Structures are given as structure tokens and as C-alpha cells.
Amino acid sequence: MRFIRDIHAEKQASGKPTISFEFFPFKTPEGEATFFGKTLPALMTARPDYASVTYGAGGSTREKTLEIVERIQNDFGLTTMAHLTCIKHTQAEIGGILDEAARRGIQNILALRGDPPSGEEWAQTEGGFEFASELVEFLRERGGFGIGAAGFPEGHIDCAEGRETDWRHLVGKINCGADFVITQMFFDNADYFRLADYLKGQGVAVPLFPGIIPVANAGQIKKFSAMCGAKLPESFSSRLDELGDDADAVREYGIEYATGQCRELLERGAPGLHFYTLNKSKAVLQILANLGLA
């Protein structure tokens, strides 16, 4: 498998966007069978450039991440990045996970601080890292991995000083050695372009991949956005309210909205698209088809 920075450089040289899909570890054998038997084969028809698999916040799915990444790489030949979080890990444990990742042929890590499980406050583990930048630095010093980091177009929800302070921290994190940044989901492209301009102004040259979520369920997206601080524009939110319980109409609207977002992002220079697939294939495939990219 390859470093994502090299995959992206190649796509960029050919004038094409880098397309990636994010998955989360399934909790049941049925979920696993559906993912490997149907969802992933369907998504592979879009010829993605890479995938990534999330890391549960102190939860039971943590040990699954490396296993799933390895299986996607081995069975589907798709470069896949493992997410890794600082929370509830000592440096020694992180070192052990990285050794295991290397043993499994994993070459890319998304270095994150992580969020505490619901109901718990964030707390640095004794002997662990406080910020994702320290994990980036640890990875860079260790060597052997391509490194991604998270960025927040609206500023990170915990950063009380506001988004520019958070973006300053992001620049620090990139300077510790991140190869690229993937953003949290957002629904107003102006937020993405503001962050992209800020980074450019700071002399940052690494790609900023926009994170796109196709909305399939109004209640779910309102919950996600409240949790992570991504605001829903008034017109978007009221359209979802109008569609109410009509699940098909919400899905169609979600595809239409995300298609419009992606089209403008690519036209105005975004280097690629990172889809939060929620382990589903139809909406993402439809969006890519609408864009002429599937």
C-alpha cells in the first residue's frame, strides 16, 4: 500500500481530485457481512483513492480498527488509513499500536486527540498526550507512516477563544509533521474557504480535504451537528423540517445538497473530497455520479 501524500500528488499531477471514504467499525457479525459483502464492493466501483477507518472513543470497537484496515487493504487492494486517538492511551500503548499497525502493513495514520465517551469529560491520560500535535510529532519521529490531522472550518467546539485560535493550533499541528488535513463535516462552503485562505496566508502547503456527509436522516444530522459544533444553515435546516418524516425525500435532498457543495468546492480549488459514508454506499455513489466522478 502507499502513502496518501504520494497518491494525492499523483492525482494532483493528473488534474483529478483525491476521493476518499471514511468507515466506522461495525458492532455485529451481520454488520461486518454487509460491509464486506455489499457496501464496500459497491463503493469500490467508484474507484476511490483511499479509505479510512475510525477509532472508537475508549469504546469496545478500538481493537477492530487495525483489523478492518488490514482486511480492506488485503482483500480490496485499497490503501486505507487507521484513525488513532490519544485519549485513554499512554505513549507506550500508542507505540505498541503503531508497531502492530506496521506489522499489518498499515502506512497511514490519522492522528487525533479523540473525544471522551458520552458523559465523560476530556482528560489527559497519565503518560499520554494532551493534544493531537504531540501524536503527530511522535509519529514523525518514529517514521514509517504517512500522517493526517483533523481540521475544523468553524473552529473546534472546545476552543473557547474562537476559530482563529483553533486554526493557529492547527497550523502548529501541521508544522509538527502532518502531510494533509481532513476537515470535520460542514454545510456552508464559506467556512471551508475561510479556513483554506487562512492556511494559505500562513504559508501552509499541505492539502485540506473537505469532509462531506450526505444527510440521510434529519434527526441524526441535528444530533451530530450539535455534538461537534457544525452549524446547519437556516435554509438547509428549514428544508429538512419541511420534509419531516418523508425519509426518501430527505435522502434525495441530502444528495442534492451535498452534490452542490462538492461541485462548488472542486470548482474553487478543493484538492479532493472525503466522504463520511456512515458505512452506506448509495448516496455517495449518487453524488459522485452527479459530479461525473464515479
Size of the residue set binding ligand FAD (CB under 6 A): 24
116 DSSP 8-state letter? P
Q: Among this protein's residues, is 100 annotated catalytic?
A: no
Residue with C-alpha cell 487525533? 112
Q: Does residue 112 interact with ligand FAD by CB under 6 A?
A: yes
Residue from 10, 22, 121, 161 carrying the catalytic annotation: 22
Site for ligand FAD in 38-57 (CB under 6 A): 54-55, 57
3 vs 209, beta carbon nearer ligand FAD: 209
CB atoms near residue 74 (< 10 Å) = 13
Least distance in angstroms from the C-beta of 19 to ligand FAD:
15
| CA distances (Å), origin 123, targets 19, 163, 226, 268, 276 | 34, 22, 21, 39, 27
Which strand (E) or helix (H) includes residue 282?
helix 282-290
- What is the rounded distance in angstroms from the CA atom of residue 116 to the CA atom of residue 57? 6
Shortest distance, position 111 Cβ to ligand FAD, whole Å = 7
Q: Is 150 one of the binding residues for ligand FAD (CB under 6 A)?
A: yes
H and E: helices and strands count for the chain: 12, 8
Instruction: Report the C-alpha gap between 262 and 17 in whole angstroms.
Output: 11
Q: Tell me: does residue 211 bind ligand FAD (CB under 6 A).
A: yes
272 binds ligand FAD (CB under 6 A): no
Gap between the Cα atoms of 62 and 248, Å rounded: 33
CB within 8 Å of 165: residues ≥ 6 apart: 155, 159
Q: Is 89 in the site for ligand FAD (CB under 6 A)?
A: no
Q: At closest approach, how far in Å is the CB of 56 from ligand FAD?
A: 7
Pick 99 or 158: Cβ nearer ligand FAD: 158
Of the candidate residues 115, 188, 252, 264, the single one contacting ligand FAD (CB under 6 A): 115
Nearest Cα to Cα of residue 154 among 174, 133, 170, 178: 170
User: Which residue lies nearer to ligand FAD by CB, 83 or 251?
Assistant: 83
In the complex, least distance from residue 159 CB atom to ligand FAD, rounded to whole angstroms: 4
Distance (Å, whole) CA 174 – CA 34: 36
Judged by CB under 6 A, which of 20, 39, 73, 133 binds ligand FAD? 133
Least gap, CB of 162 to ligand FAD (angstroms) = 10
Residue 58 phi, psi (nearest 5): 70, 10
Residues that bind ligand FAD (CB under 6 A): 54-55, 57, 83, 85, 110, 112-115, 131-133, 150, 156, 158-159, 166, 169, 172-173, 182, 184, 211
Which residues does the annotation mark as catalytic?
A: 22
